[in-house]
Chain A
Amino acid sequence: MFWNEEIETMPRQDLEELQLKKLQATVKRAFEKIPYYNKKYSEIGVYPEDIETLKDIEKLPFITKDDLRESYPFGLFAVDIKEIKELHSSSGTTGKPVVSGYTEKDLDTWAETIARGLTMMGIGEDDILQNTHGYGMFTGGFGVHYGSHKVGAAIIPISTGQTRRQIEIMKDFGATGLIFTPSYGIHLAEVALEDGIDPKELGIRAIGFGAEGWTEEIRQRVEELFGCKAYNIYGLTELMGPGVGVECCAQKGLHIAEDIYYPEIINPDTQKVIGGDTPGELVLTNLEREGMPVIRFRTKDLTKLTYEKCECGRTHARMSRITGRSDDMIKVKGVAVFPSQIEKALLKVGDAEPHYMIIVTRPGTLDEIEIKVEVSQEIFFDGVKDMMHVQTKIAKSIENETGIRVKVTLVEPKTLPRFEGKAKRVIDKRNLH
């Protein structure tokens, strides 16, 4: 089953021609309409006409989350605000968030990518799709919503939380498709089982996963619990939202909508483009975006690509499951947390930056985060009450900075591991990679 068979099964050569045309148009528009690109490209002497082949994209500089942040809020828009129909923002809480703007056509393109994905998952007009992704500035909720409209499924925009109500609705409405983050999905199933409802009996036919890391074991567990297949969905607010890549029935990687996003894999250290099958950092370019074309965005997500034709018949490149990050970002309870935020929070408590370590675990189905902080002279007091106060103050400061609650453990000086070169601040015991 295809949503857009012509495009999705297009011979590679034709696809690449299409990509080149779209890339040239995108670079030209960005250069003409967005001062950021005009300045950046002029500075290094690269102009739209220098893009003669797809490989010429390598002449263009990368854009990072920091660049996007510096253009807050609308600095990277290529159109007037009157053309913008919707605004979203990333969940990241470091400094200013990243804003994404969509024209009418962009919303349609976004829906198209999700529609392709839902079709890959076997979801169509006969289905009732329960979307537990949050509706709001987070792109997860609305992206799935628009795609579901396109394929004609009946969407239940229930959003996140209220687990027992979710189960009741699932049962009463006869949901056949579910969209959730893997950890929330497992939680849902466990609560259902506690209440004497076997999720397998609910008649769910397909599950779409997104917004956090997972392993093959987690997928198997979800599939066992719900008695159906679970498919990975990948996307980023910066580029549009979910739908950049979705898994097909073969479950052998996520098909990137290559006529809409141009993928590259780079070595994050040398920043050179490396061949498809070598793991590296994913770099993405919008090929079909009016409101805010983003060119060569460093996702920091580590993956690899294969251009081999898939057994499902699609020719679009497949990316493997994200195996890590080229920076230290961690996703805890679906929220992006950077060690730099923890550092900032610690600096606010004591004058000097203490040595610390972030430990992420998932004792049951939900994430827990512990910050171990080496006590220094600045934050050491003779009284137990004072020390408890220090602990609370650190926890509060971190919560203010990241939005999540953490457990703070004070440890003796020089007891946390030291690293040569780049410090390793995060120990992720969730076994997601």
Chain B
Amino acid sequence: MKIKQLSIFLQNKMGSLAKPLEVLTVADVNIRAMCMADTSEFGILRLVVDDPMKGKEALEENNFLVKITDIIGIEMNDTPGGLTSVLDVIRDNLIDLEYLYAFSHKKEDKAILLLHADDIDKLIDVLSKNNIPLVSAEEVYNL
């Protein structure tokens, strides 16, 4: 259920994103989704890849600082208002989301939303109760 996301510490300077991506290319690890949280001085690169452990090892061998973070993915309608309806449920249940990012699914009219909150189990619980379909980790890795 939980997706293993790679969080990588990077300095905010020209070219700093290229290096870890190159490492993953060489290691033949494919990126499924990514998002970047940045400040003026540093950033955290968040990646969902097809093989998280292999990706982590390759990056660490190249001196990158990597943490595995659990996130979850849900399937939502790729139509106007699709995201809002999901967020309404989360807000109504008083869950503070840390961050989220989304990408469109191969399935027609579907998108995948990736979410992280401090209390991830509560988030899973709330979403299940509201019949919002969670996407399995395998499905995201193998998109």
Q: Which residues of A contact B (CB under 8 A)?
A: 375-377, 380-384, 387-388, 409-415
Contact = CB atoms under 8 A, between A and B. Distances in A.
A377 B37 contact: no
Contact of B39 (A376, A384, A414): A384
Contacts of A377: 65, 67
A381 B65 CA distance: 10
Contact of B44 (A384, A409, A411, A415): A384
Given A411-B11, A412-B11, A380 B42 contact: no
A380 B65 contact: yes
B141 interface: no
Interface in B66-121: 67, 69, 98-99, 116
Contacts, number: 49
Contacts of A383: 37, 44, 98-99
Contacts of A375: 9, 65
A381 B42 contact: no
Interface in B40-68: 41-42, 44, 46, 63-65, 67
A409 B7 contact: no
Q: How large is the interface on B (under 10, 10 to 19, 20 to 34, 35 or more residues)?
A: 20 to 34
Contacts of A380: 7, 9, 65, 67
Nearest to B116: A382
Given A380-B65, A380-B67, A412 B10 contact: yes
Interface in B1-41: 7, 9-11, 16, 37-39, 41
A382 B7 contact: yes
Given A382-B69, A382-B116, A413 B46 contact: no
B116 to A, nearest CB: 7
25 contacts: A375-B65, A377-B67, A380-B65, A380-B67, A382-B46, A382-B67, A382-B69, A382-B116, A383-B37, A383-B99, A384-B37, A384-B39, A387-B9, A387-B42, A387-B44, A409-B41, A410-B11, A412-B9, A412-B11, A412-B16, A412-B64, A413-B9, A413-B63, A413-B64, A415-B11
Contacts of B99: 383
A387 B39 CA distance: 10
Q: In terms of DSSP, what is the predominant structure of the interface of chain B? A: strand
A380 B46 CA distance: 13
B67 A414 contact: no
Given A375-B9, A384-B39, A388-B39, A413 B44 contact: no
Given A384-B38, A410-B11, 7 more contacts: A382-B98, A383-B99, A387-B9, A411-B11, A412-B11, A412-B63, A412-B64
A413 B10 CA distance: 9
Nearest to B39: A384
B137 to A, nearest CB: 17
Nearest to B7: A382
Contacts of B11: 410-412, 415
A375 to B, nearest CB: 5
B41 A410 contact: yes
A375 B67 CA distance: 12
A413 B11 CA distance: 10
B9 A414 contact: no
Given A375-B9, A411-B11, A412-B10, A382 B63 contact: no
Contacts of A411: 11
A411 B9 CA distance: 8
Contacts of A381: 67
Contacts of B41: 409-410
Nearest to A383: B98
A413 B59 CA distance: 12
Most-contacted residue by chain A among B7, B16, B65, B116 (CB, 10 A): B65
Contacts of B116: 382
Contacts of A384: 37-39, 44
A414 B62 CA distance: 10
Contacts of B44: 382-384, 387
Nearest to B98: A383
B69 A414 contact: no
Nearest to B118: A383
Contacts of B10: 412
Nearest to B69: A382
A412 B7 contact: no
